[in-house]
Amino acid sequence: MKITKAVIPVAGLGTRFLPASKAIPKEMLTIVDRPTIQYIVEEVVASGIEEIILVTSEGKSAIENHFDYDFELETILKAKGKDVLCEEVSHISNLIDIVSVRQKKPLGLGHAIWATRKVVGDNPFVVLLGDDLVLSDPPCTQQMITQFNHFQESIIAIQQVPLDQTFQYGIIEGDKVEDRVVRIERMFEKPKPGTTNSNLAIIGRYILQPDIFTILEGTEPGHGGEIQLTDALLALSRQRPMYAYEFQGTRFDAGDKLGYLKAIIAFALRHPTVGKEFRKHIKEVCVDL
């Protein structure tokens, strides 16, 4: 079964980036020359997905506008002879079909995904969190689709984290079935110290069976008074097999100030225009430290 749809929740307040995110969606904060959300969308496109469902809220129109056609801007760029820049702007609006769904109440990630049920329908789909950027080849989503094609069941992306940091993540336990693949037996949302010995942390990439919508509808608020996706995933794993995949690549938490700065450096070093000079600058700065 081909996966054609991706859900990207962008309704959060972005409190970790205040005051920068007071008037600008955190997903629109730039990494080099493009907003964070564009890297997520480009990963989706490179993985063969055909449609994106954005889960938005009030104040997020800038995200939709970024991927929309801007006749006035393109006309001005053409008139000034900036054809390359005009082509790049035009390319953004033609990347992929995008629709938006409003999350009317701030009830957490699980609720945000449930809000897309009528658009997603009865097919498996990808979920990507806008805070998680992954540098990898092939793209992280494409790696996960390969695993889904093999197992035909829900796949959750994981990475190993230090044990003293597990309280910051959803954590999975289970049995290894293949290289980098674990069949999930237990899941914990931001576990307290001593709750689990596992360091396999869930990061923001999922492929989910549509059964998750029925489960989310009946899921009670959990950690933080929100409808936690982790609780629903655990319930789904008791009904049918669910797997965790340790993807190959480097993940950056772009929703955290330090993670965001690390992402800027990593992507800037690889940038085709400024990468060479930026690398030179970084070496000069490091010598002076």
pLDDT surpasses 80 at 223 = no
Average of per-residue pLDDT values in the chain: 91
Q: In the prediction, which pLDDT does 219 show?
A: 78
In the predicted model, what is the mean pLDDT of residues 252-275?
94
CATH code where residue 107 lies: 3.90.550.10
Q: In the prediction, which pLDDT does 16 show?
A: 86
DSSP string covering the chain: ----EEEEE-----GGGTTTTTTS-GGGSEETTEEHHHHHHHHHHHTT--EEEEEE-TT-HHHHHHTS--HHHHHHHHHTT-HHHHHHHHHHHTSSEEEEEE--S---HHHHHHTTHHHH-SS-EEEE-TTEEEE-SS-HHHHHHHHHHHH-SEEEEEEE--GGGGGGSEEEEEEEEETTEEEEEEEEESPPTTS----EEEEEEEEE-THHHHHHHTPPP-GGGS--HHHHHHHHHTTS-EEEEE-SSEEEETTSHHHHHHHHHHHHHT-TTTHHHHHHHHHHHHHH-
Percent with pLDDT over 70 in the chain: 98
Residue 84: domain span: 5-255
- 175 in a structural domain: yes
- 226 in a structural domain: yes
Q: Do you find a cis peptide bond into 25, omega within 30 degrees of 0?
A: no
- 68 in a structural domain: yes
- 206 in a structural domain: yes
In the predicted model, what is the mean pLDDT of residues 263-276?
95
In the predicted model, what is the mean pLDDT of residues 157-165?
92
- 94 in a structural domain: yes
Q: In the prediction, which pLDDT does 225 show?
A: 67
Integer Cα distance of 226 and 284 in angstroms:
47
- 211 in a structural domain: yes
Integer Cα distance of 4 and 49 in angstroms:
5
- 51 in a structural domain: yes
pLDDT surpasses 70 at 101 = yes
- 263 in a structural domain: no
Domain count, the chain: 1
